[in-house]
Amino acid sequence: MTIRTVALLKRRPDITHEQFIERWGQNHAKIFTSLDVTKRNIIRYSQLHVNLQHSKTLNQAGLQVASFDGMVEMEVENLDDFLAIFTDEEFLKIGSPDEDNFLDKTSVQVIVGEAFVKFDRARDV
């Protein structure tokens, strides 16, 4: 079974949500997915871009909405593959410095585990 990591991300306080989405979703995604360590170690990489209007609607409906700007999910074979990304020379030279353009690194929160699909409409209906 593969391992999934989810990181909850906040933008730097001096940029807008829209700037965060552009820098992370366009620029950083291209850089990160071009790295050899990414191609070698990651099975799947996906981003969730928070929709502020939808978040507002949910909040007005009485739901507690997390105060993050995005979520990144990475699927890897094992935890060592995930950890190796952050010590990789190319990532440290190119990927990590690019994160400084949009990410508040001190606020990142990570969840790690295994995914168990309990319902899939395409499969179960």
**Which domains, ranges and CATH numbers included, belong to the chain?**
3-124 (3.30.70.100)
Dump strand ranges (E) for the chain: 3-9, 42-49, 70-76, 109-113
| Residues written for the chain | 125
Give dist(CA 96, CA 103) in Å, integer: 10
State the pLDDT at residue 125.
Answer: 87
State which residues of the chain have pLDDT below 70.
none
Tokens read off for 55: 């978040």
Sheet with 109-113, side-by-side order of all strands? 42-49, 70-76, 3-9, 109-113
Tokens read off for 27: 């620029």
- The string of pLDDT tens digits covering residues 33-58 is 999 999 999 999 999 999 999 999 99
Strand (E) or helix (H) holding 58: helix 52-60
| 32, amino acid identity | F
What is the DSSP pairing of strand 109-113 with strand 3-9?
antiparallel
DSSP one-letter code for 15: S
Give dist(CA 27, CA 65) in Å, integer: 27
State the pLDDT at residue 55.
Answer: 98
